Structure 1
Amino acid sequence: MKFQSLFAGASICALALSASALAQDEAVSDAGDAPQTEDGEVEYIAIPDARRIDSNTILVRADRTDSGLSLSDYTGSATIVSAEEMEQRQVRDVADVLRDVPGVAVSSVAGQTQLRLRGSEANHVLVLVDGIEVSDPFSGEFDIGTLQAEIGSRVEVLRGPQSALYGSDAIGGVVAYDSRSFSGFGARIEGGTNNTINGAARWGYNLNGFDVSLSATVVSTDGEPNARPINGGGTRDIGRDSYTVSGKIAVPVTDNFALRAAARYIRTEGQFNDQNFFLTGPTFGFVVDSPETRFENEAIYALVGAKLELADNRWSHDLSAQLADITRDTFGAFGPSNASEGDRLKASYVTSYRPTGGHSITFAADWEREQFRNATPGGFAFNGQREIENVGLVGEYRYAGERFDFSAAIRHDINDRFADETTFQVGAGFNLTESTRLRASAGSGIKNPGFFELFGFVDGRFIGNADLTPEKSTSWEVGIEQSLLGGDATLSATYFDATLEDEIFTTFPAPTFVATPANRTTDSNQRGVELALSAQIAEQWSLNAAYAYLDAEENGVTEVRRPESIASAALTWTAPQEAASATLVIRHNGSTEDLAFLDPSFVPTRVTLDDYTLVNLNARVRLAAGLYLFARAENLLDENYEQVFSFVSPGRSVIAGFEATF
């Protein structure tokens, strides 16, 4: 492709730029200049996508270093949801707050919550939790519904291909959850509708670079029916219990050498309903009450790392290793029905040199091995172990000037199963005035087929295709950010255009019509507009709003589960001295196409899911120093809606509780 070759060449040239090319511009301050709390911790300021033109908003996942990157210097599209915003909206499931990020579509059923960025597929999104890749090697994606918000946590979202920095899983973008440093003790307990009881506790100690924290969350609910009330059905409650324990530690060995480690354990148990695929009856293809069907998911994640700073902290060396071990089991009326075991080992070396003048040059090398075993009982599937290895080499150049920013990255992946691939990313930003910033970027992405697609899971129901080739994407975007009202409001607008080749889809070939994946011979196109507004509209009032329009089509046919329009608004009132606060959140999801299996041939038919609007309202009152009473109502108007065909979503719920911090 001429377009790809052009920008890949530009990336290579950019890596060779001399550090003196733009040395006349003054360097922008880094994370060390960011505002700090009383205990010296960096205070992260978050303005979703629409951003103030300063260097004090820190984006820590936009490059491969952890030294921090000014959001105002970033040349792509990014959103930060701060710990303050998470607290204001009383976020418990991280997936919920991602609905407020422009370009993010969320669809959820019991046992699986998916993210789609800018019309990409759910397995095109790389999810990082405290720097650890958390996707399941079996499906190639992470069930974001299992990620519970810890006290003080924050989220970053990078939209558009990030494969040049992060490899295959980041073809659509990156979602990074960070539990952050925490000094002191915090706990909350709450309960309400559907016998819901949630709890969280966090302890941390931070002094002179030594940082340690422990956290635990519990979510338990009896739930409610998720099947339509057809022929007396739709009465079985679908509940879940989720437990998370995590910890982090950072130890400064010397002034320029530090060690770190992080670990997380997640266990989720819950009920789910099957679809009726018996050939007779009016509920064929619909979700029906399915007694005794349930799932158990368990995941262990860990990371260890060491960092060395040389040349007055301008040259860093970071070596890390991480693992992920995920098991998934489902059960039916007659015992175990499906099971999978997946694990990932990854080692990374990242070195970055930051000379004077706002320049930085980074090199990274990744080694990754993924293993998978289909543990489904009954002899209906191959139960042996499969394995895939990958080596990735990354080069990146960044320049952050007083008015002009530039970045370029290139990555070469060496695959043991697929052809080697090269991806790129290049972007530039220019401060036209003190209040107006223009930016543009282009990039390519790659997504290797997953174990599920290559090898299937149950013979006779889904047959794998070992001849699949990777999906490839090329995209570009342009954006403008405008500061208004003397900096009290910021508006941003972005237009993007992406083309996906060799898209993997499910086909049902005759004469058996058994499902199997294949690569499309036609292109999938995604283009759209993202708008975001952040405003301090009065001394005690703030507003964050977002809107995204998406046109996602494959060969002229609308892609499923990608709503054309998504909008959200969060209005927050805060009393003087923060003695009380209240937040109203409105989220609108436009109508969307989905697939329904209503024909005994199992060839899917297309259906349209109605649009819906969710209204959430919460309030919080300080009873004493460090002690708060809070309450919230979710789906306040009791909207009846479906995110996936025939799966009814939860109705109104009311929760109340206490929170204490010391």
Structure 2
Amino acid sequence: MKNFALLNSVASAALVWAAPVVAQDEAVEAREDGVYSGPESFPILVSASRTGTTLLRDYTGSVSVITADQFEDRQTRDIADVLRDVPGVAVAGVPGQTQIRLRGAEANHVLVLVDGIEVSDPFAGEFDIGTLQADIGARVEVLRGPQSALYGPDAIGGVIAYDSASGRTVPGFAARLEGGTQGTLNGTLRYGAHGDSWDAALSAVVVSTDGQPNARGGVRDIGRDSYTLSGKGSVEVAEGFALRAAARFIRTEGQFNDQDFNPASPTFGFVIDSPGTRFTNEAVYALVGARAEVLDGRWTHDLSAQVADIARDTFGPFGRSNSSEGDRVKLSYVSALRLAEAHNLTFAADYEVEGFRNTTPGGFAFNGRREIEQLGFVGEYRYAGEAFDLSAAIRHDINDRFRDATTFRVGAGYRVTDTTRLRAAAGSGVKNPGFFELFGFVDGRFVGNDALRPEKSTGWEIGVDQDIADGARLSVTYFDSELKGEIFTTFPPPTFIATPANRTTTSNQRGVELSLSAKLAEQWSLNAAYSYLDAEENGREEVRRPEHIASAALTWTAPGDAASATLVVRHNGAALDDAFTDPSFVPVRVRLDDYTLVNLNARARLAEGIDAFARIENLLGERYEQVFSFVSPGRSAVVGVEARF
């Protein structure tokens, strides 16, 4: 396949080229238990600034860092699962598409970066977070609130940045193999190496399951196979000059069930067993870059190029039924100048071309290529003092299809005492319509609207971070945002065929986020989060946005890290959804029940570098739906072994 050929070429380059992230890796290694006790232990945020050098203690917005140790403690395999433990995050998934919403924003309002690469599908306008598997040593950053001033028109709700481990943070060979109920068989193989001026890593991840039925009363198991091959690396060619590269190939194959759209059927609008239906998603991502430092490292210049190529295919009993191809080429230049110890200026320029082609067979829709070209300019100032921090950014985007857009973000933080820090931030965002919304076509069901306008958002937040005791921190944030021109689906008569349009009313999202990170005793730690959300459109509650979401992870670790056990409890409050149970196809509002998931896992060291582990997910066998009539998985159990040498 051409995608495999491209991946192999870039992955080979990734073993030679580099990112200047040695300082970042060392900062992360300083404290990987997720509990921060002092400024010296705060890791660098790679996504909070275009320079990638912001310390967590200096960031003026809301951010959560999920460390590699937290991934191991919770035995996370799907990134979407651990994101449920982040305040302000709502997860809803069906086979073939798992969506993430930040603070009530739409799923396509969230920018997802993987090793610095923008991974959303230009056709769908969002990234299927269900295809992102947790590699050994990986970490995740979640920035909540408008980030368009830094990253452009895909970050109204925030940014999720996944960073795989380098050859410096996790050197040597690492392997993990597990199996369990529902025919589950997952494996990971990784190798990392480094020298004084270089590092490199290669990784392969396989996730496979026969699945469980997802139709009410259904018997057809919905299985999935996902394969990921990735590589990244860095080399310092000369003093002050470094090269880097990263590449990733993801292929996901799975089954799904259709909804019954036979008006004469008693199950009209419900998910039913649909033998022969399946999907295949395949994506290739790659990035190369160079970084130069002058003036004793005070002035840096970074040039990078990245590509994304995504293909989606859906199959029915009689062959391929729906297909699309999306691609992106992005060039970025970032220049950062440290004027003094606490003052930093950054300029960035981005040039991006996104394209898509509808490859659905049958000739019902235009299958030529569509393209949108965009140029963006960013200016950013940051001040990080002993007690006071300040950040400000402004961006101007020039788009060949939509009006130019200017977005901003400002923030400030003040350390009232050694244990109390106040912070506040405000910003704006913009989201351009996606290709599917503009030009999509599903025969008899959906027609795009090429007259759509971009959505625009403004928001603000205020918060406090309080160190309660040694190794414990409580953060509380209130946020408020407003979205204008929201794109929604209409069903105009007489055909009632779905088509998107811009709302003339305003959508509001406001709420409270709480997070607690605490070391309860020498061997006990607790991470907890709670979110309250009030998301309304013209006074009407929006769908798939629970008012209440909460989680808690309690971890016990034996002396010398010889064993550990973690109990994770996740509660998702009741939410509304749209059900297409009326023959007119006009949606009917229904309420999804709240649910609580309990996961329990344990790990024991068998020998130096070799651990055995086991886990039970959905321990209580909760029956729940994240999307109307799509039944989510029940109880499952897994055992496995992990080795590092």
Q: Which residue is 1:119 aligned to?
A: 104
SS at match of 2:154: helix
- 1:638 is matched with 621
- Pairwise CA distance, 1:289: 0.2
CA-to-partner distance for each residue in 1:179-238, whole Å, 9 max, x for gaps?
021311100000001010000011000121301000000011100100001xxxx00000
**Contact 2:423–2:463 (8 Å) recurs in 1:** yes
Q: In the aligned structure 2, how far is the partner of 1:140 from the partner of 1:616?
A: 32
Residue number among 43, 50, 56 corresponding to 1:57 in the alignment = 43
* Paired position in structure 2 for 1:569: 552
Task: Identify the residue that residue 591 of structure 1 maps to in structure 2.
Answer: 574
Report SS of the residue matched to 1:194: coil
Instruction: Say which SS state the counterpart of residue 137 (structure 1) adopts.
Output: coil
The equivalent of 1:145 in structure 2 is: 130
Aligned letter for 1:539? Answer: E
- Corresponding residue of 1:311: 295
The 5 Å alignment of 1:15-414 reads: 36=26, 42-43=29-30, 45=32, 47=34, 56-66=42-52, 68-181=53-166, 182-229=170-217, 234-414=218-398
Describe the shift of the 1:292–1:31 C-alpha distance in structure 2 as closer, same or farther (beyond 3 A).
Answer: closer
Corresponding residue for 1:537?
A: 520
Which AA in structure 2 matches 1:657? G
Q: Residue by residue, what CA displacement relative to the aligned partner does 1:2-31 show, whole Å, maximum 9, x if unpaired? A: xxxxxxxxxxxxxxxxxxxxxxxxxxxx99
Deviation at 1:492, TM superposition (A): 0.6
The one-letter code sitting in structure 1 at the alignment partner of 2:258 is D
Provide the C-alpha distance between the structure 2 equivalents of 1:51 and 1:576, rounded to a whole number of angstroms.
Answer: 20
For the residue of structure 2 that corresponds to 1:325, the secondary structure is strand
Aligned residue in 2 for 1:484: 468
Distance 1:358 1:47 in 2: 26
CA distance in 2, matches of 1:316, 1:59: 17
Q: Which segment is superposed worse, 376-385 or 288-297? A: 376-385
Aligned counterpart for 1:431 among listed residues 411, 415, 418: 415
SS at match of 2:182: helix
In structure 1, give the amino acid aligned to 2:164. S
Q: Is the 8 A contact 1:53 1:435 kept in 2?
A: no
Show the counterpart of 1:21: none
| Matching residue's letter, 1:80 | V
Instruction: State the Cα deviation string for residues 295-345 of structure 1 (Å, max 9, x = none).
Output: 011000000000001111110000000000000000001111000000000
In the other structure, the counterpart of 2:9 is none
- TM superposition shift of 1:382: 1.1
The 1:360–1:32 alpha-carbon spacing in structure 2 relative to 1, beyond 3 Å, is farther
Q: CA deviation at 1:461?
A: 1.6
**1:66-99 Cα distance to aligned partner (Å, 9 max, x none):** 3x21101000000000001001100100000000
- 1:206–1:212 Cα contact (<8 Å) kept: yes
What RMSD over aligned residues (CA atoms) do the two structures have, in Å?
Answer: 1.5
Query: Which position in structure 1 is the counterpart of 2:636?
Result: 653
Distance 1:148 1:661 in 2: 19
Amino acid at match of 2:393: A
Q: Indicate conservation of the 8 Å contact 1:326/1:341, yes or no.
A: yes
Determine the C-alpha separation between the residues in 2 that align with 1:466 and 1:44.
50
Tell me the amino acid that sits aligned with residue 83 of structure 2.
Answer: L
Residue 306 of structure 2 aligns with an amino acid whose one-letter code is: Q
Q: Cα–Cα, structure 1 residues 460 and 44, in superposed 2: closer, same or farther, change >3 Å?
A: farther
Distance 1:73 1:171 in 2: 22
SS at match of 2:497: coil
Equivalent AA in structure 2 for residue 97 of structure 1 = V
C-alpha distance in 2, partners of 1:511/1:44?
A: 62
* Paired residue type of 2:453: T
Classify 1:75/1:55 alpha carbon distance in 2 versus 1 (closer, same or farther; 3 Å). Answer: farther
Unaligned runs of 5+ residues in structure 2 are 1-19
- Seen in structure 2, the aligned counterparts of structure 1 residues 415 and 33 have a Cα distance that, compared at 3 Å, is closer
Read off the aligned partner of 2:119 and give its amino acid letter: V
2:590 corresponds in structure 1 to 607
Q: Do the aligned residues in 1 keep the contact of 2:34 with 2:69 (CA within 8 Å)?
A: no
Partner of 1:4: none
CA distance in 1, matches of 2:277, 2:229: 26
- Using structure 2 for the length normalisation, give the TM-score: 0.95
Structure 2 Cα separation of the partners of residues 184 and 631 of structure 1 = 24
Cα distance in 1 for partners of 2:25, 2:127 equals 34
How many Å separate the matches in 2 of 1:106 and 1:644? 10
For 2:336 and 2:32, locate their aligned partners in 1 and report how far apart those are by CA, in whole Å.
25
Say which of 580, 587, 612 aligns to 2:563. Answer: 580
- State the Cα distance separating 1:138 from its structure 2 match: 0.6
Return 5+ residue gaps in structure 1 as ranges: 1-29
Give, in whole Å, the separation in 2 of the partners of 1:524 and 1:411: 24
* Contact in 2 for aligned 1:44/1:82 (Cα 8 Å): no
Contact 1:437 1:480 in 2 (8 A): yes
Identity of aligned residues (%): 70
Q: CA deviation at 1:459?
A: 4.0
Shift of 1:54: 5.1
Task: Indicate conservation of the 8 Å contact 2:422/2:465, yes or no.
Answer: yes
Specify which of 437, 441, 455 is matched with residue 457 of structure 1: 441
Question: SS at the partner of 2:193?
Answer: strand
Compute the displacement of 1:268 (Å).
0.4
Contact 1:35–1:56 (CA under 8 A) maintained in structure 2: no
1:45–1:58 CA contact under 8 A, matched in 2: no
Question: In the superposition, relative to structure 1, how do residues 553 and 463 fare at CA in structure 2: closer, same or farther (>3 Å)?
Answer: same
The residue type paired with residue 482 of structure 1 is Q
Could you say which residue in structure 2 is the equivalent of 1:475?
Answer: 459
Equivalent residue letter for 2:409:
Q
Aligned equivalents of 1:160, 1:215: Cα separation in 2? 32
* Aligned partners of 2:136 and 2:165 also within 8 Å: no
Map Cα deviations across residues 215-272 of structure 1 (whole Å, 9 max, x no partner). Answer: 000011100100001xxxx000000100000001111100100011111000000000
Return the offset for 1:495: 0.1
1:96 corresponds to which letter in structure 2? Answer: D
Q: How far has the Cα of 1:58 moved from its partner? A: 1.9
Q: What is the alpha-carbon distance in structure 1 between the residues aligned to residue 33 and residue 359 of structure 2?
A: 43
Question: Per-residue CA shift, 1:559-595, capped at 9, x if unaligned?
Answer: 0000000000000000000000000000000000000
Aligned to 1:629: 612
Q: Distance in 2 between matches of 1:100 and 1:301?
A: 27
What is the TM-score of this pair, normalised by structure 1? 0.93
Change (3 A) 1:51 1:569: farther
2:37 and 2:471 in contact (8 A); partners too? no
Question: 1:36: Cα distance to partner?
Answer: 4.1
Aligned equivalents of 2:38, 2:360: Cα separation in 1 = 52
CA contact (8 A) 1:436 1:482 kept: yes
Structure 2 match to 1:508: 491
SS for the counterpart of 2:285 is strand
Partner of 1:23: none
**Aligned partner of 1:62: which letter?**
A
